[in-house]
């Protein structure tokens, strides 16, 4: 995957409007975050990329984050060992700093913050669980949180699974970390700095609040569907399959057309307020 080169990847001081998300790089050698790819970094089948709008929309929602260095861990069911590129030996994993980072952190941090550089990697108390810092701190726009998860629709590298978490990153300015569950024993599990480790997705905080999530309804019997429900089902399922010549990707085309129309309307509205 190519390193992003857009000017939007660096700090923009020309406007006071808050960005949806700002990534602050602490580890200077860490790969820059990049927009998630609608093709899942080229791994989606061509037919899915062209016609499956749900899959491509999910794949492209958010930003990829990468390990800040190539490293490997190995778990024997009890203890975890680790190594990183260039050292050629294995070490017991407790809680470790990114190589050379603590001195760099202390050289730049205010006096009252010196000595508090985030650990890069650590073994948790629970067997087979580790915690990894991406080398970044993220801040989202007011009212937005950050869903941290494994990359959507991207083939997983074997040997571990990422826990999902939601961080109130408009209020909490701290290390962007993830917890991983190791799923293999007695074999090295590799983490590559050029392969996405996480996908982070800004979401409005109200969408996961209890009051909002509890506002749902269940229709337990098909006989309770309304005429409008059946009409929508007809338009979605029956009409396309009844066409003599059925164009491919009708849902994808309709969704893209709707988004284009909404973007145009939003642009005109924004221009009228300028």
Q: Give the pLDDT score at 253.
A: 60
pLDDT tens figures, 21-63: 999 999 999 999 999 999 998 888 888 888 888 999 999 999 9
pTM of the complete model = 0.83
pLDDT tens figures, 168-219: 999 999 999 999 999 999 999 999 999 999 999 999 999 999 999 999 999 9
Contacts of 61 (CB under 8 A, 6+ apart): 36, 152, 199, 201
For 29, 31, 153, 174, the CA distances from 106, given in Å and listed in that order, are 17, 22, 39, 16
Contacts of 18 (CB under 8 A, 6+ apart): 141, 142
Q: Which residue has the tokens 């810092």?
A: 133
Q: How far apart are CA 114 and CA 22, in angstroms?
A: 23
Q: Give the pLDDT score at 11.
A: 60
pLDDT tens figures, 89-148: 999 999 999 999 999 999 999 999 999 999 999 999 999 999 999 999 999 999 999 999
Q: How far apart are CA 204 and CA 201, in angstroms?
A: 10
């Amino acid at each position: 995957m190519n390193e992003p080169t857009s000017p939007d990847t660096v700090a923009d001081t020309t406007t006071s409007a808050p960005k949806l998300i700002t990534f602050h790089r602490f580890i200077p050698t860490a790969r820059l975050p990049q927009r998630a790819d609608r093709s899942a970094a080229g791994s989606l089948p061509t037919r899915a990329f062209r016609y499956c709008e749900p899959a491509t929309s999910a794949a492209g929602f958010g930003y990829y984050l990468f390990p800040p260095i190539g490293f490997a861990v190995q778990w024997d069911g009890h203890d975890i060992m680790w190594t990183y590129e260039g050292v050629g030996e294995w070490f017991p994993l407790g809680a470790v700093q990114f190589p050379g980072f603590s001195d760099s952190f202390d050289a730049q941090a205010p006096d009252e913050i010196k000595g508090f550089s985030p650990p890069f990697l650590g073994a948790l108390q629970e067997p087979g669980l580790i915690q990894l810092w991406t080398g970044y701190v993220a801040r989202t726009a007011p009212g937005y949180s950050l869903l941290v998860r494994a990359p959507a629709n991207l083939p997983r590298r074997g040997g571990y699974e990422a826990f999902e978490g939601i961080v109130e990153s408009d209020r909490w300015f701290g290390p962007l970390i993830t917890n991983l569950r190791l799923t293999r024993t007695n074999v090295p599990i590799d983490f590559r700095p050029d392969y996405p480790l996480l996908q982070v997705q800004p979401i409005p905080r109200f969408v996961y609040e209890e009051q909002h999530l509890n506002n749902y309804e269940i229709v337990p019997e098909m006989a309770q569907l309304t005429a409008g429900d059946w009409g929508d089902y007809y338009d979605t399922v029956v009409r396309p399959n009844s066409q003599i010549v059925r164009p491919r990707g009708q849902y994808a085309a309709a969704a893209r057309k709707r988004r284009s129309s909404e973007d145009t309307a939003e642009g005109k509205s924004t221009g009228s307020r300028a």
